[in-house]
Amino acid sequence: MRALALPLLLIGCLSAQAQEDWDWWNETHDWDGVTHWWRYLTPSAYYLGPNALPVPSLMNGELDDEVRLSLGAEGHFSNGDDTQDLMTGLHAPFAGGRVALQLDWMALEHYTMDTVTRDERAARDRDGTGVSTGDLYVATLVQLVQENDDHGGLLLRIRLKTASGNNLAGARHSETPGYSFDLSWGRWLKAGSGWLKRWRPHAMAGFLVYQTNRDDFYQNDCLLFGAGVLGDHGGLRSEVGVAGYLGYLDLRDRPIVLRAALTTNRPGKLEHRLGVQAPVQDWRYLSVAYTLRVYLGGPLWSGRDTR
């Protein structure tokens, strides 16, 4: 009997300590003692980490017909949450470069939140500092209309958001699936000036859906949009644009961002890209990103029978 007393006492102490550890959160958010803490989180990009529900990249109507790997480092800065992350990606075209599979994954994130931001988000990360991994995005790209001298190109993107991100307790990711469809158009036009060889206006429209943690609205249906201009300067390409999506839950779920980037016109297999992103609406982060792209050659499959 005495042999059991010590283990039971130890278990009781640990249970009491674990219960006591959440008292700060229960008191801060007036927990009712019944509702799961997950329900206290707000399913909106504004109240989560920068990699939870980001604005998708702005497509320009053109499908890159070379296989590439990408590795990037990003910094996101805001009043109350500073985040650094490591991004990875794969772009694999096939069918003669008319179709491509694209994978994007935020492999590692480090964050530091202040207590105001932590409590605003109902996060359960007491010290507001930690690491997480992000969601895997899987996309199919289809070149519906190939660009020529008479008209621009039309590109379809179908994108799936998996629920692979972790650290929901820290309000870093939604841990819910989602998807989006968008069409983009763009056309290269000749330029008259010496520093600008050609330029490409482009636009994107579609819709984006993600699952929520609510009982009244199981998902948020959003209008996805964007527009921008690419510039070809010979050794460099420049890009400016605006993109966003408009939700209907009225939870600051209508993020809009401005983006600008410079990319080297690669002489070989390597390409360097430096980009910035600034908030316009319902987005709190100013972001800087560097991406290294490694090109591995043409499409994996030409789409023709070579027998």
pLDDT tens digits, one per residue of 172-212 = 998 899 999 999 999 999 987 788 999 999 999 999 999 99
Give the pLDDT band (50/70/90) at residue 13.
very low
How are beta strands 99-113 and 81-94 bridged, if at all? antiparallel
Name the percent of the chain lying above pLDDT 90.
78
- Whether residue 306 lies inside any domain: the answer is no
Whether 228 and 171 share a structural domain: yes
* Nearest C-alpha neighbor of 54 from the set 242, 278, 275, 255: 255
CATH assignment of the domain containing 250: 2.40.160.40
The rounded distance, in Å, linking the Cα atoms of 237 and 266 is 10
Q: Characterize the bridge pairing of strands 286-295 and 68-77.
A: antiparallel
Distance CA 212, CA 164 (A): 15
| 20-71 pLDDT tens trace | 488 999 998 999 889 889 899 999 999 999 999 999 999 999 999 999 999 9
What pLDDT is stored for residue 273 in this prediction? 97
pLDDT over 70 percentage in the chain? 92
pTM, two decimals, is 0.89
303 within some domain? no
Q: Which domain holds residue 143?
A: 42-295
Instruction: Give yes or no: residues 146 and 18 share one domain.
Output: no
Region 217-226: mean pLDDT is: 96
- Does residue 80 share a domain with residue 213? yes
Beta bridge partners of residue 304, listed in sequence order: none
Mean pLDDT, the chain, rounded, equals 91
Instruction: For residues 122 and 195, state if they share a domain.
Output: yes
4: confidence class by pLDDT, cuts 50, 70, 90: low
**The total number of structural domains that make up the chain:** 2
Query: Does one domain contain both 6 and 64?
Result: no
30 has which bridge partners? none
Contact 137, 150 (CB under 8 A): no
Eight-class DSSP state of 126: T
Q: What is the pLDDT of residue 16?
A: 45
**Domain assignment present for 204:** yes
Is the same domain home to 30 and 78? Answer: no
pLDDT at 268: 78
Please give the helix or strand (H or E) that residue 3 lies within, else none: helix 2-21
**Whole-angstrom Cα distance, residue 241 to residue 260?**
7
Of the pLDDT bands very low, low, confident and very high (cuts 50, 70, 90), residue 2 is: low
**pLDDT tens, 108-134?**
999 999 999 999 999 999 999 999 999
**Hey, how many other C-beta atoms are within 10 angstroms of the C-beta on 233?**
17
Cα distance between residue 297 and residue 294, in whole Å: 10
Average pLDDT for 270-297:
97
